[in-house]
A and B are shown apart, each in its own frame.
Chain A
Amino acid sequence: MHAAKSTTVMHPLLKVEAVSVRFGGLTAVDQVSFDVHQGELLGLIGPNGAGKTTMLRAITGVVHATQGEVYLSGAPLVGLPIERRIRQGLSLSQQLVKPLRNMSLLDNVALAAGGRKTASPLRALQHVSNSDELAVGMQMLEKVGIADRAHQMPGTQPLGILKRLELARALALKPQLFLLDEPLAGLNSSEARALANTIADIHQSGMTVVLIEHNLSEVMRLCQRLIVLDNGKKIGDGVPREVMQDPVVQAAYLGGDTLATSQSKVEPQHA
């Protein structure tokens, strides 16, 4: 299982070390360790309630790790507030898209691109022009294929567009590591396939990506490596095809009531 990890000689971009997250009596993430290497597209999968999103939130700082360490390019993240972790080079595309509804799509992305000018209120007070950021914003909207709607408001957009806006805005932060939380959820199969291709393009352009996704056929198509969580524990780590053939992983996916959900997520893709 761990063969893929030991063969790489590169210093990991993200290092998650024995992270546990407990909510009261419930252990949502239990002693999970993994590395993400520069340029990788890593899938983080597992049945519903496996702790994937909680793991991601422990990396971004939305929830606090009860135990363990997280390093980005060697620098420790645990203990830092969300915004500091983002400024260290993380970027999160959220599962529930949250555009700022009082500004256009372009302004949403441009705001994210202004990181240098918004580092402190004093600096933000000294800068007025946002022409550079609008240019970056436009570039990002083009990258995700919604530049034609740049000046429209988010309120009138369908989910597929908002998902792409979420990607564009997260990309505008110019992250070292791009975390995607179920970007394909809620999309029909052709929309999902198109967005998966966009994600592949983003990865091709040199971005390191961690992808949480339930759509297994797209995960198998996109990811170079999978990490499987179940009940908060890591039960798989390696090349997708091998990982999915592991009886432990199969049992986790096929066991109990997760059978219906995993199959229903896969089947529409064959249509």
Chain B
Amino acid sequence: MTQFVVEDLERTLSPFRGDASAILRALHEVQGEFGFVPDSALDVIAKTCNVSRAEVYGVFTFYSDFRSTPPAACVVKVCVAEACQANGSREVVADLKAQGYDVHTGKAVDGIQVEQAFCLGNCVLGPAAFVNGQPVGRASAATLLEAAREVTAL
């Protein structure tokens, strides 16, 4: 688990002090800082925003972006929605799975984690993906893993 100094995080989140409407922004802030949301950060957010831990936990679990554990060195997001299905995303997902990368579990293998996304807004040049935030069009399992290995090799 990432260790952090509570006071440091409180300082980072200080613009949200007393603002119950800032829970989502605070979660983004924490994940931006650590790559995930450490469990103990939920308490800091609750205290900062002056809401219960349960409220923060409720928001944290509602949104699929938030992670409770650190991401792999490289996160690949593959679009599995209709426009990419029309361009063969099901095959990409199956090929990735055959190589050990399951979009449903998102289990990391050799520092690479593949997850599904529902539409990345690149619906003509599909199958669409992001490799650590970099858009990739006309993706195949091979091109994605190649791009991901370039990231993990850094």
Q: Do A and B come from one complex?
A: no
User: Which residues of chain B have a CB within 8 Å of any CB of chain A?
Assistant: none
User: Which residues of chain A have a CB within 8 Å of any CB of chain B?
Assistant: none
